[in-house]
């Protein structure tokens, strides 16, 4: 596999590391921030809009579905038109949609606005990954993706705490107005600091149907597809926790809103720390071993949570077990995305879009499921997390042929 442009150019890599990488980290962080900051407002918004728990969780599903669909638009478009213009357009629409969310008079309008916000905001997630792949190759791609994960996680650690404080002070619309302000600030950063990184001679100028042919071509690449499927299962495991967490911590375990925000932030901080430590061992252990450890750790944490809850352990003990599961599952994202992207050499925007589409579709399907059993039990969340983590682990292990191990070790693979 040939290196991406700039992969062996120290000046360009340094620029990615110190300026562009920081900007991309902020851009990527807006999506998880838009989820985490609004979570503490779910109970208040449910009451104010007269909706049920499962209906309120549909706002999360709508947001994730928007992200999934938008990646299939912005990823291929960035392969064809370059990275900068689609990124600016997406950020502008995202800011407008975020303002519409804050003004929403009903649950129906909120659902529609969150979908549009996710659709447009997906441009930042997918194009940022493509930009990193433009400038790096092999293990460097995984390394820089892990750096963005650590940075994004650090920026979002206090999102639920801030969301809880804004909800208490300004009501359920408070976090949404803050998200809107962050979206506007992100647009300004993109316009000022993000350059064009996709060379004209590498663009998919002959692509048709918005470049979806490239998506189909990537999905026919078995080594790429395996990592996409495992990432979807891993991400859905995380989203099962995220969607259920406001009700699990506050209505089942009995924590108040402020304590919930702190516990959610603690889990995020542990995930960031885990990624930071794992990134230091990346060259020695390889991404596949780290992903295997992450999935096994998630299963262990989920089992410990179920055991503690069934035995009537105090709430703080159950919360510690949840933290173990979330710390380990957070190891998987940057490693799996990096492994998948290193299986392709062209149309990397479409490849990143494919990963994101499958991942966020899985997350959007899981979000309402964890609320179907009611809000007074941990069972729906724990069963969903266990099934998804186990399925992802078995898929990864079943793919463990020589070619996959080589790809994981070297950071490369069969290009498409």
pLDDT in tens, 336-382: 888 888 887 777 777 888 888 888 888 878 877 776 666 678 888 99
The pLDDT score that the predictor gives to residue 209 is: 52
Q: Encoding tokens for residue 114?
A: 């969150």
Q: Encoding tokens for residue 28?
A: 């990527």
The pLDDT score that the predictor gives to residue 317 is: 94
The pLDDT score that the predictor gives to residue 87 is: 95
Least confident of 8-17, 105-114, 296-305, 326-335: 8-17
Please write down the HEC assignment for all residues of 324-336: HHHHHHCCHHHHH
Q: Encoding tokens for residue 110?
A: 């909120």
Query: What value, to the nearest 5°, has the Cα angle with vertex 120 and ends 135 and 112?
Result: 155
Q: Which residue has the higher pLDDT, 14 or 48?
A: 48
Which of the 8 DSSP states describes residue 211?
G
Classify the C-alpha dihedral 247-248-250-251 as positive or negative: positive
Q: Which residue has the higher pLDDT, 351 or 391?
A: 391
Q: Encode 51-79: b = buried (16+ Cβ within 10 Å), e = exposed.
A: bebbebbbbbbbbbbbbbbbbbbbbbbbb
Rounded Cα distance between 144 and 120, Å, is: 24
State yes or no: pLDDT of 284 exceeds 80.
Answer: no
Classify the C-alpha dihedral 253-55-103-242 as positive or negative: positive
Residue 12's pLDDT band, with cuts at 50, 70 and 90, is very low
Query: What value, to the nearest 5°, has the Cα angle with vertex 17 and ends 12 and 20?
Result: 80
The pLDDT score that the predictor gives to residue 375 is: 61
Rounded Cα distance between 407 and 416, Å, is: 14
Digit-coded pLDDT (tens) for 72-94: 889 888 888 889 999 999 999 99
Q: Which residue has the higher pLDDT, 344 or 327?
A: 327
Q: Which residue has the higher pLDDT, 148 or 403?
A: 148
For the chain, the distance separating the N- and C-terminal CA atoms, rounded to the nearest angstrom, is: 10
Identify the CA nearest to 367 among candidates 143, 28, 55, 27: 55
Share the mean pLDDT of the chain: 82
In this prediction, residues 216-226 reach a mean pLDDT of 84
Q: Encoding tokens for residue 58?
A: 């549909």
The pLDDT score that the predictor gives to residue 191 is: 93
Residue 416's pLDDT band, with cuts at 50, 70 and 90, is low
Residue 211's pLDDT band, with cuts at 50, 70 and 90, is low
Rounded Cα distance between 294 and 333, Å, is: 10
Q: Which residue has the higher pLDDT, 249 or 5?
A: 249
Q: Are 274 and 178 in contact (CB under 8 A)?
A: no
Q: Are 145 and 132 in contact (CB under 8 A)?
A: yes
Length of the chain: 416
* % pLDDT > 90, the chain: 30
Rounded Cα distance between 72 and 78, Å, is: 10
The pLDDT score that the predictor gives to residue 401 is: 47
Cα–Cα distances (Å) from 200 to 78, 93, 138, 175, 211, in that order, read 11, 26, 22, 41, 16
The pLDDT score that the predictor gives to residue 207 is: 55
State yes or no: pLDDT of 5 exceeds 50.
Answer: no
Rounded Cα distance between 187 and 124, Å, is: 10
Digit-coded pLDDT (tens) for 109-167: 999 999 999 999 999 988 998 888 888 877 777 778 778 877 887 778 788 888 888 99
Q: How many CB atoms lie within 10 A of CB 12?
A: 17
pTM of structure = 0.72
Rounded Cα distance between 102 and 3, Å, is: 44
Helix axis angle, 53-81 to 212-219, nearest 10°: 100
Q: Which residue has the higher pLDDT, 115 or 269?
A: 115
């Amino acid at each position: 596999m040939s290196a991406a442009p700039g992969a062996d150019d120290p000046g360009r890599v340094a620029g990615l590391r110190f300026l562009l990488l920081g900007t991309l980290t902020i851009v990527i962080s807006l999506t998880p921030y838009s989820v985490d900051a609004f979570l503490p407002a779910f109970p208040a918004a449910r009451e104010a809009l007269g909706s049920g728990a499962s209906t309120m969780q549909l706002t999360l599903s709508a947001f994730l579905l928007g992200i999934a669909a938008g990646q299939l638009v912005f990823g291929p478009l960035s392969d064809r038109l370059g990275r900068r213009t689609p990124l600016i357009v997406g950020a502008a629409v995202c800011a407008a949609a975020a303002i519409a969310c804050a003004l929403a008079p009903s649950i129906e309008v909120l659902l529609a606005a969150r979908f549009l916000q996710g659709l447009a905001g997906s441009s930042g997630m997918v194009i940022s990954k493509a930009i990193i792949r433009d400038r790096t190759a092999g293990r460097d791609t995984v390394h820089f993706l892990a750096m963005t994960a650590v940075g994004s996680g650090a920026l979002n650690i206090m999102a639920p705490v801030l969301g809880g404080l804004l909800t208490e002070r300004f009501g359920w619309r408070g976090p949404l107005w803050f998200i809107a302000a962050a979206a506007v600030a992100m647009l300004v950063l993109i316009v000022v600091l993000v350059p064009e990184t996709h060379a004209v001679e590498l663009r998919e100028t002959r692509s048709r149907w918005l470049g979806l042919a490239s998506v189909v071509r990537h999905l026919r690449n078995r080594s790429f597809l395996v990592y996409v499927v495992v990432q979807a299962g891993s991400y859905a495991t995380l989203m099962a926790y995220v969607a259920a967490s406001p009700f699990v911590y506050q209505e089942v375990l009995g924590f108040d809103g402020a304590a919930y925000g702190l516990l959610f932030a603690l889990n995020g901080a542990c995930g960031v720390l885990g990624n930071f430590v794992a990134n230091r061992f990346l060259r020695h252990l390889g991404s596949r071993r780290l992903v295997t450890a992450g999935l096994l750790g998630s299963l262990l944490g989920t089992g410990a949570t179920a055991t503690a809850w069934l035995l009537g352990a105090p709430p703080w003990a159950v919360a510690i077990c949840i933290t173990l599961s979330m710390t380990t599952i957070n190891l998987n994202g940057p490693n799996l995305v990096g492994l998948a992207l290193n299986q392709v050499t062209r149309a990397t925007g479409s490849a990143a879009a494919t990963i994101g589409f499958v991942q966020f579709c899985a997350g959007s399907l899981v979000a309402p499921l964890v609320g179907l059993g009611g809000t007074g039990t941990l069972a729906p969340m724990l069963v969903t997390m266990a099934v998804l983590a186990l399925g992802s682990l078995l898929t990864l292990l079943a793919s463990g042929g020589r070619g996959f191990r080589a790809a994981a070790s070297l950071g490369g693979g069969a290009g498409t």
